[in-house]
Amino acid sequence: MVNRCAFSGCKNKILSVGINCHKCKLYFCSNHRLPEEHICPHMQEIKEEAYANLSNTLQQQKCVATKI
């Protein structure tokens, strides 16, 4: 059971198992849980997903607004 931050050089312990990156499946301390902070190898993918989610949300809001 790994309970140390997976970021190289970081010796912070992980208190809960809640913080992990769903892309690289590694656990990080609260300082390194963000893809930007642990220099996630899947960062590009995450950004694209975030962008897709955002445009989906905007699309939905647009639909709602049109219905009203």
Q: What are the residues binding Zn ion (CB under 5 A)?
A: 5, 7, 10, 12, 21, 23-24, 29, 31-32, 40
CB of 40 to Zn ion, least distance (A): 3
- Cα separation of 21 and 38, whole Å? 9
Taking a C-beta distance cutoff of 8 angstroms, is the pair 7, 19 a contact? no
Q: Which amino acid is at 25?
A: K
CB of 32 to Zn ion, least distance (A): 4
Q: Which residue, 9 or 68, has its beta carbon nearer to Zn ion?
A: 9
Q: Which residue, 9 or 65, has its beta carbon nearer to Zn ion?
A: 9
Using alpha carbons only, give the angle 49, 7, 23 rounded to the nearest 5 degrees.
Answer: 25
